[in-house]
């Protein structure tokens, strides 16, 4: 069973500020790292799938980096907007595609 951890558990950020949070995972037998955004009353939405050490991916104001050697990924949000309020989940699959999720970071943007 993989141990995927996220921090912080929750975060309040002023609108317009930038923020980031962390996902840590086992560095051995690494396959991929997924990031999802889960808004209230909606289904989780895939943000990124990252596989290579040093990967950096961007989607609008959101970007993510990956360090497979030390077992962590950062998710960055630049210029936070109210619509960014959501729970952000990271997950790591084993070789059989079964995802182990972290507990998530609940982000609240304060207008």
Partner 1 sequence: GAVVSQHPSRVICKSGTSVKIECRSLDFQATTMFWYRQFPKQSLMLMATSNEGSKATYEQGVEKDKFLINHASLTLSTLTVTSAHPEDSSFYICSASAQRNQPQHFGDGTRLSIL
Q: Which residues bind partner 1 (CB under 8 A)?
A: 31-32, 34, 36, 42-46, 49, 51, 89, 96-104
DSSP per-residue codes, 12-47: EEETT--EEEEEE--STT---EEEEEE-TTS--EEE
What is the closest distance, in whole angstroms, from the C-beta atom of residue 17 to partner 1 in the complex?
Answer: 26
The residue (of 71 and 104) whose beta carbon lies closer to partner 1 is: 104
What is the closest distance, in whole angstroms, from the C-beta atom of residue 49 to partner 1 in the complex?
Answer: 5
Three-state secondary structure string covering 40-92: CCCCCEEEEEECCCCCEEEECCEEEEEECCCCEEEEEECCCCHHHCEEEEEEE
The residue (of 19 and 34) whose beta carbon lies closer to partner 1 is: 34
The residue (of 17 and 45) whose beta carbon lies closer to partner 1 is: 45
């Amino acid at each position: 069973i993989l141990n995927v951890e996220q921090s912080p558990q929750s975060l309040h950020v002023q609108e317009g500020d930038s923020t980031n949070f962390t996902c840590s995972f086992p560095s051995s037998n690494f396959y991929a790292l997924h990031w999802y955004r889960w808004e209230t009353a909606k289904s989780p939405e895939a943000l990124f799938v990252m596989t290579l050490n040093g990967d950096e991916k961007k989607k609008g104001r959101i970007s993510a980096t990956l360090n497979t050697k030390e077992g962590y990924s950062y998710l960055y949000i630049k210029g936070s907007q109210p619509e960014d309020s959501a729970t952000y989940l990271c997950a790591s699959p084993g070789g059989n595609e079964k995802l182990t999720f972290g507990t998530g970071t609940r982000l609240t943007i304060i207008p």
